[in-house]
């Protein structure tokens, strides 16, 4: 079962991302260790598309790898 958009946003907030509201339902999520943003474009109650779940997962893995390298 796909995650909801609100779940992905909560995961990103917990991981240290900050967001900037965009037009309509768009929001831009950035992390200080990543040089690219994640754009989320749907309402909180909508199911997250698979590509967005994969994008969030990949970003979290990259951040974890960068944090491990700094330790």
| The predicted structure's pLDDT at residue 41 | 94
More confident residue, 68 or 11: 11
More confident residue, 56 or 67: 56
Tens digit of pLDDT for each residue in 9-49? 999 999 999 999 989 989 999 999 999 999 999 999 999 99
Class of domain 5-63: alpha beta
Q: Nearest 5°: phi and psi at 35?
A: -100, 5
Q: Residue 43: what are its φ and ψ, rounded to 5°?
A: -80, 155
Q: pTM here? A: 0.89
Please provide residue 31's backbone torsions phi and psi, each rounded to the nearest 5 degrees: -125, 140
Mean pLDDT value across residues 62-71: 83
With 80 as the cut, is the pLDDT of residue 70 above it? no
């Amino acid at each position: 079962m796909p995650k909801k958009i609100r779940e992905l946003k909560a995961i990103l907030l917990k991981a240290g991302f900050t967001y900037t509201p965009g037009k309509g339902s768009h929001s831009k999520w950035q992390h200080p260790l990543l040089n690219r943003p994640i754009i989320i474009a749907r309402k909180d109650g909508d199911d997250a598309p698979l590509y967005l779940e994969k994008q969030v997962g990949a970003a979290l893995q990259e951040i974890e790898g960068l944090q491990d390298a700094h330790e």
